[in-house]
Amino acid sequence: MKLPALLPGQRTGDTMFSKVYARIKQWERSWKSSFGTDISTPEGRQAARRHNNLVDHAFLRRILPNRYQLSDEAWRSNQPDPVHFPALQKIGIRSVINLRGPDRFSYYLFEKEACTDYGMALYNHELFARVLGSPKDYLDLLDLMETVEKPMLIHCKSGADRTGIAAALYLLDQKGADIDAARAQLSLKYAHQRWSKAGILDHLLDTYAIHCETNPITVRDWLANHYDPEAVSASFHAKRSKG
């Protein structure tokens, strides 16, 4: 059998390991997507619950919802499980903003069903933790958070990164918070790790803060007229590569 050409400095063992690892990851992705897409039957619901626990780690979030109040009209959390909805109803939640976006898998199916059962409106607005959104992504989110019926819950998967930047923007835009209060929404308290690739979200707020040192403007104005996601991303990666 002819082996693939090696890259400079690469050994045959490295290539073999890479191929094995790639096959394992392919099998893992295939397994994760092979079930958990149906809750219409008892069997489907049981499989979806296994998917939710094993693939999406819902068993941890049931114990640790990472739920905190932002204001009289807003809360933040990780992915809500059906067992959390009585508590959400008790605090008056009327709208749920899902920053993971719609999906065909268990976590979204259960959330959509629970929102219907408890009379809460579900809104989907997909963001990413390690890649910055466009100006429109963030401006549309601000509009959504402003217009939905309150109180609202904002969440992603872990409630750390995407939820953190959404909470920061909400406080800046709709509560007149200062930049330090906004930055605090991206902290270890919520399981956000500034030193990870998700630190690009901190860098977004830092870039806005630097702009305001010489030209104080609202976060909406900055996002609409000054924010350049490519430039902010480039400066973050350059800074991170230097340690």
pLDDT by residue (tens digit) across 46-96? 999 999 999 999 999 999 999 999 999 999 999 999 999 999 999 999 999
| CATH classification at residue 55 | 3.90.190.10
Task: Please tell me the total count of domains within the chain.
Answer: 1
pLDDT score of 159 more than 60:
yes
**From CA 46, how far away is CA 59, in angstroms rounded?**
14
In a domain, 5, yes or no: no
**pLDDT tens column, 148-158:** 999 999 999 99
In a domain, 24, yes or no: no
Domain residues for the domain of 182 are 39-241
**From CA 230, how far away is CA 32, in angstroms rounded?**
32
In a domain, 6, yes or no: no
pLDDT score of 1 more than 50:
no
In a domain, 13, yes or no: no
pLDDT score of 125 more than 50:
yes
Is residue 100 packed enough to be buried (19+ CB in 10 Å), middle (13-18) or exposed (0-12)?
Answer: buried
State pTM to two decimals: 0.88
In a domain, 197, yes or no: yes
In a domain, 194, yes or no: yes
In a domain, 51, yes or no: yes
Among 33-47, 76-90, 210-224, the range scoring the smallest mean pLDDT is 33-47
The closest of 37, 36, 18, 15 to 26, measured between CA atoms, is 18
